[in-house]
Amino acid sequence: MAIGALGLIVIIAASLYFAFRFVEQERQRDLQSWQVRMGIVADSRTSDLADWVEQNFGVMRELAENASLQLYLSMIVASEAGAQAPEDTAETGYLRNLLTATASRSGFVPPARPAEVSANVERAGEAGIALTDSKGQLIVGTPGMPPLPPQVRTAVAKALSGEASFVDVYLGATNLPTVGFVLPVLSVQASSATDAVGAVVGLRVVGADLYKRLEQPGEVEKTAESILLRKAGATVEHLSPLRDGTDPLGRTMALDTPDLAAAFAVNVPGGFGVKKDYAGKEVLVTSRPVKGTPWILMRSVTTAETLAETETRGRTILIVFVLIIVGVSVAMIAVWRHGTSVRAAEAAVRFKQAADRFENLSTFMKVVTDGQPTGIVTVNAEGVYSFANKAAADDVGSTPEDMLGKTMSAVIGPVKAHALMDVNREVLLKGERMSSSHTFDEPGGGFRVLKCEHIPLKGDRDQPPSVLMIIEDVTAVVRERERRENVLKQLTNTLVSVVDRRDPYSAHHSERVAEVASSIASEMGLDPVATSTVGLAGRLMNVGKIFIPAELLTKSGQLTPEERELLARSFVVSGELLDGVDFDGPVVETIREIGEFWDGTGPLQIQGENILITSRIVAVANTFVGMVSPRAWRDPLTFDKVSEILFSQTGKKYDRRAVLALMNVLENRDGKKRWAYFREKTPD
């Protein structure tokens, strides 16, 4: 009796453990799904906010680079340095009109207000554009331009030293949230960024044009909210309006508040978690930094909305399992008691009652499992079905009852059965739960991908050890991933085609560099991610040439030092254009460093082992392809001559290992034969 009771307790405990574990895994799976969805929205909103900041800087940049403005401001500053200049000259009038027109066009104006009764009190300035001299003193500004507060004067001083400056949100004279954008204005003949004759200052009231960018088009979550935050000492400030009606900059909370969503967002940008929002509600939260600002975008949705269905399903599964365990326990106890009874007839009747009860519970379990979208089956060590739900039967065009007693090979085919049973045998041997995924070819063409959880079930006197299998079809997810990879490949081909059309003398150059770089990486024994990285980097490295004048790309004469530097920096420009694209490897970083030399004389002055190994490989491949290919101004060099030149530059320009790997491919891996067509002139 003691052994039997102990065994029953162990079975109940194990069943409860697996039930709770299954429910928790379902919850974690839903959390991961929400993390992806919220991350996509957060990235989209962050990009819109960064675009808004860049647009405003673009307005200031347009003014700062205006030749007339530079000339007139230089004249005004020069006149003030000598004799006292008139308060309003033709130059100041022109500048005021230019600033006023720009402010009106770009939104650097005070917000519209209802008509007010005329009074002798002048309305406080709220927004506008102004110019300062080299000492930071205002020279001319638009109507409504307020006096410069301390934080703006600090930004002006920074701009006068040659650096663009962003003025973070502050409350202006009328308690409206205001931001500023400051750029230096150089003299017409300035030789460096520090030769500033003044600065252009733009102040604008933050309003709907910014806050609308926090709203996600097509929003379906009722409790979703995107909020702008920033860290201020030991607190976090809310910069945007809140759902509860709080105005911008109207709520500040402590950073060390336990489980505060806003504190988590600014302390762990890019993180994801379950926290409490400003109203004390439990929310899913993720965040992203806004480029060029100290702002953090926080995206949150209440768990009451996101996880309600998961929690309900989890409770239902737990209740079902508990009922099954209780029912099985009651049935086992009833069978034991009646089996020991001297009254065989009465024991038989009670046993039948227990069996009926167990059958009812089994029917209830079947109803619950039939409601699940995934296939659920149990098979023994020989692959014979002892249970199947409706989803599993529908998948093979059968019924649950028809599947019982049949082998997996007979139902789903020998190929699929063999793959799944290999995992089942390992699960039964180790007694541990395992996950597996399998790709199968379909008879009508295409493929199918199955993800399976294998859970061992202990056997007893009447039931052999079995495996509970939860099978999910993830073919659609895999196809979508392949589609995204094909889109990236097509985009890459398009970008390469655009560059080749602008530079006909180096057509197919990028494709050949990618091929040679991949061969060098394989020869050096680099991992698949690094090999893929050099191939993509080689194909995309010349994207930056779209900003180089076409006449320079096709120039057949000697290049000037300035032209050589412009071409050398095209790799850095390529990296900047591709920055933000999510590659599997460090493709963007590789492209930026292609122009770096081993001795540190490249554009970024990175040297030796500090240069990415992938960049060093692409640099060697790029030089090799360029030398062995014909150009309008010269014939192609021989492979031996190019190898000699590259080897002579090892330790100066190129990594010795990459050069030796290339030479080995040429000499011992049939490289000369494979790449002989490089030396042929491309037909016009």
Q: Where are the domains of the chain?
A: 65-108+124-210, 373-473, 479-679
Long-range interactions of 505-508: CB distance < 8 A, separation 24+: 505/553, 505/554, 505/631, 505/632, 506/542, 506/553, 506/626, 506/629, 506/631, 507/682, 508/682
User: For residues 328 and 13, which has the higher predicted lDDT (pLDDT)?
Assistant: 13
User: For residues 150 and 584, which has the higher predicted lDDT (pLDDT)?
Assistant: 150
pLDDT-based confidence at residue 526 (cuts at 50, 70, 90): very high
Residues 408/417, Cβ–Cβ less than 8 Å: yes
Which token pair is 3?
């052994």
Least confident of 11-25, 112-126, 368-382: 112-126
Q: Report residue 167 CA to chain centroid gap.
A: 28
pLDDT-based confidence at residue 269 (cuts at 50, 70, 90): very high
Overall average pLDDT of the 370-377 stretch: 82
pLDDT-based confidence at residue 49 (cuts at 50, 70, 90): very high
Q: Any alpha helices (H) in 107-253, and if so which ranges? A: 150-160, 208-211
Place of tokens 């098979």: 379
Which token pair is 492?
């890459």
Cα separations in angstroms, 326 against 284, 321, 361: 36, 8, 10
Amino acid at 530: A
Cα separations in angstroms, 647 against 549, 644, 651, 654: 33, 5, 9, 8
The pLDDT value given to residue 11: 78
Three-class SS of residue 168? strand
Helix 67-81 vs helix 2-64: crossing angle, to nearest 10: 70
Amino acid at 64: A
Q: What is the pLDDT of residues 494-515, one digit of tens each?
A: 766 666 666 665 558 889 999 9
Overall average pLDDT of the 259-284 stretch: 93
Residues 264/282, Cβ–Cβ less than 8 Å: no
How far, in Å, CA of 261 to CA of 328, rounded? 45
pLDDT-based confidence at residue 553 (cuts at 50, 70, 90): low
Q: What is the pLDDT of residues 326-365, one digit of tens each?
A: 776 676 666 566 655 556 566 567 657 655 665 665 666 6
Q: 392: Cβ–Cβ under 8 A, 6 or more apart, which residues?
A: 375, 376, 377, 400, 403, 471
Amino acid at 218: G
> Would you say residue 147 has pLDDT above 60?
yes
How far, in Å, CA of 307 to CA of 28, rounded? 10
How far, in Å, CA of 540 to CA of 534, rounded? 10
Overall average pLDDT of the 599-615 stretch: 93
Topology of domain 373-473, CATH: Beta-Lactamase (3.30.450)
Place of tokens 């985009």: 491
How far, in Å, CA of 230 to CA of 265, rounded? 9
The pLDDT value given to residue 69: 92
Sheet with 466-473, edge to edge strand ranges: 385-388, 375-380, 466-473, 447-457, 434-441
pLDDT-based confidence at residue 263 (cuts at 50, 70, 90): very high
Residue 314 phi, psi dihedral angles, 5° rounding: -65, -45
pLDDT-based confidence at residue 547 (cuts at 50, 70, 90): confident
pLDDT-based confidence at residue 153 (cuts at 50, 70, 90): very high
pLDDT-based confidence at residue 310 (cuts at 50, 70, 90): confident
The pLDDT value given to residue 227: 95
The pLDDT value given to residue 203: 96
How far, in Å, CA of 320 to CA of 317, rounded? 5
> Would you say residue 117 has pLDDT above 50?
no
Of 460, 434, 438, 436, nearest to 449 by C-alpha is 438
Which token pair is 346?
């009465």
Domain 65-108+124-210 has CATH 3.30.450.20: yes
pLDDT, mean over the chain: 84
The pLDDT value given to residue 17: 75
How far, in Å, CA of 180 to CA of 204, rounded? 6
How far, in Å, CA of 241 to CA of 227, rounded? 8
Of 379, 372, 460, 376, nearest to 427 by C-alpha is 379
The pLDDT value given to residue 575: 79
Range among 193-197, 461-465, 606-610 rated most confident:
606-610
User: For residues 582 and 420, which has the higher predicted lDDT (pLDDT)?
Assistant: 420
Place of tokens 């500023």: 180
Which token pair is 137?
């003193």
How far, in Å, CA of 587 to CA of 539, rounded? 10
Which token pair is 611?
């240069």
Q: What is the pLDDT of residues 290-302, one digit of tens each?
A: 998 999 999 999 9
User: For residues 475 and 242, which has the higher predicted lDDT (pLDDT)?
Assistant: 242
Q: What is the pLDDT of residues 425-460, one digit of tens each?
A: 998 898 899 998 888 888 777 788 888 999 998 877
Least confident of 185-194, 264-273, 284-293: 185-194
The pLDDT value given to residue 341: 57
Of 449, 442, 450, nearest to 471 by C-alpha is 450
The pLDDT value given to residue 615: 95
How far, in Å, CA of 673 to CA of 667, rounded? 10
How far, in Å, CA of 107 to CA of 188, rounded? 28
Integer-rounded Cα Rg, in Å, for the chain is 36
Place of tokens 């934080």: 151
The pLDDT value given to residue 344: 56
CATH superfamily of the domain spanning 479-679: Hypothetical protein af1432 (1.10.3210.10)
How far, in Å, CA of 223 to CA of 603, rounded? 49
- pLDDT > 70 fraction of the chain, expressed in percent and rounded: 83
Q: What is the pLDDT of residues 235-258, one digit of tens each?
A: 999 999 999 999 999 899 999 988
Residue 455 phi, psi dihedral angles, 5° rounding: -115, 120
Q: What is the pLDDT of residues 65-108, one digit of tens each?
A: 999 999 999 888 888 654 444 456 888 999 999 999 999 999 99
Overall average pLDDT of the 18-46 stretch: 86
Place of tokens 């890459």: 492
How far, in Å, CA of 465 to CA of 459, rounded? 4
Three-state SS for 112-148 is CCCCCCCCCCCCCCCCEEEEEECCCCEEEECCCCCCC
- Do 65-108+124-210 and 373-473 fold alike per CATH? yes
Q: 245: Cβ–Cβ under 8 A, 6 or more apart, which residues?
A: none
Overall average pLDDT of the 582-588 stretch: 87
Overall average pLDDT of the 665-670 stretch: 93
